Amino acid sequence: MKLTDSRLTIKGEKKKEEEVKEEDYFYSERSYGAFARVLQLPCQVKGDKVKASFKNGVLEVKLPKSEEAKSRSVNVNID
């Protein structure tokens, strides 16, 4: 995983093997391949605070917003 400016790039490789052994036949299938995803982030993040974990096939990425990116409230008068 790589964070560049406001883009998060995730690269990985998937591997799948399946075997079926029955009394009168044997079946085996393998598939594999690399992948990459680039996500455009909607705001700036604190690069040194990014954390990721991979458990039970789920990738969780935590990207805390930078102080400049946190929303500020503005009162709007209605005429």
CB contact at 8 A, 40 and 6: yes
pLDDT band of residue 38 (cuts 50, 70, 90) is very high
Tokens of 45: 């993040």
User: What is the arithmetic mean of pLDDT over 33-49?
Assistant: 91
Q: What is the pTM of this model?
A: 0.64
CATH topology for 2-62 is: Immunoglobulin-like (2.60.40)
Domain ranges of the chain: 2-62
Tokens of 47: 């690069």
Tell which wins on pLDDT, 68 or 49: 49
Q: What is the token pair recorded at 65?
A: 């917003």
Q: Name residue, tokens 């790589």.
A: 2
Question: Quick one: which of 34, 37, 35 has its CA closest to 8?
Answer: 37
